[in-house]
Amino acid sequence: MKIASSADWRENIPFETPLLVSELAPGEPGRCAGCGAASAPLPRTELWAVKHRHPNDHSGFVRFYCAEHKPEPKPVAVVAPTPATRATPARKKATAPRQPSTKPSIPERARAVCPDCFVEANANGVCGMCGEKVG
């Protein structure tokens, strides 16, 4: 089974770049993270969404800010390699050419599939969904 991330409006927001919330997603008025929870909700046309990096979640997290608390976008630093840090070509060692593998290939065994659930059965031949014996 392949686990995929869900389709979420926050995935398309670039990190550390303020974007107007009304252009990202419709919804109810929200509160500024800088003003705090006791502040009055502001319309989405006056809130800025900023996606911050998180040390434990590669997707990051999004916070809303009013114009007063909106963080400035962080400039992207482009570093050109200097002559001292430029990699020098390494000398290649003389190695023998690789021989193709002589191991015989083992054909993959067909696994039993439950006729009701269309799920592969486990090693004991039992369907993991309905519990029926397959094959």
Residue 85 structure tokens: 């840090």
C-alpha–C-alpha distance, residues 129 and 126, integer Å: 9
Name the pTM for this structure: 0.51
Quickly state the pLDDT bin for 77 (edges 50, 70, 90).
low
C-alpha–C-alpha distance, residues 101 and 51, integer Å: 49
Per residue in 24-41, pLDDT (tens digit) is 888 899 999 999 889 999
User: Integer distance in angstroms from the first to the last C-alpha of the chain?
Assistant: 22
Per residue in 84-128, pLDDT (tens digit) is 655 555 566 667 677 776 777 777 677 788 888 878 888 888 888
